[in-house]
Chains A and B, each alone.
Chain A
Amino acid sequence: GQQVMQIPQYQHVQEGEDFTTYCNSSTTLSNIQWYKQRPGGHPVFLIQLVKSGEVKKQKRLTFQFGEAKKNSSLHITATQTTDVGTYFCAGPGYSSASKIIFGSGTRLSIRP
């Protein structure tokens, strides 16, 4: 079945260091979304990428959609303690584009 995997599963960094999470889909995606879930909270939409090779930035966050539209990455420059949480990528279901399949997530923790 369709799988959306993320690596790494966990990342522990010193505050100020950079962080990157990678998302890989077993199928080509028409779009990819990124969400952030704080501990104890619910997922919050960050961004959506649609075009092949697209790069979008939100302050210290840089999102990239692969040329083949099967992978994506999220890079955070100079992490801050407020960046703590789990980052999920998500894409439309292969069998039905109306549903969203979430990646396995990358949990980011930060040493102050």
Chain B
Amino acid sequence: GAVVSQHPSRVICKSGTSVKIECRSLDFQATTMFWYRQFPKQSLMLMATSNEGSKATYEQGVEKDKFLINHASLTLSTLTVTSAHPEDSSFYICSARSGLYEQYFGPGTRLTVT
């Protein structure tokens, strides 16, 4: 079945540094990838929609200069959290879609900013 990987699974960084998270679709080509963040005991909040070769579409309230998304190929999208602060600590999850509806989620990346 469709598999999506994320790397790293956990990252701890100091305030002010940048962190890059990779999302890969391993056995299919993803026309669209999505980035979500999830705070403890809360639902998934969509941050941005990413299509290969084009600029990401950010949801309202998400700073595009802070959360840089690059969708370089049909199997890879990256999210860079720039100048991270403790309030950016969260669970970041990507998903990939090849067809019309179904999304396949990566295992998530837990970011802790100290």
Contacts and interface: CB of A to CB of B under 8 A. Distances in A.
Do A and B share a complex? yes
A43 B93 contact: yes
B49 A102 contact: no
Q: Which secondary structure characterizes the binding site on chain A?
A: strand
Size range of the chain B interface in the assembly: 20 to 34
Interface of B: 32, 34, 36, 41-46, 49, 57, 93, 95, 101-108
A98 B108 contact: no
Contacts of B46: 93, 99-102
B104 A99 contact: no
Contact of B105 (A42, A93, A96, A104): A42
A96 B105 CA distance: 20
B102 A42 contact: no
B46 to A, nearest CB: 6
Given A48-B102, A105-B43, A42 B49 contact: no
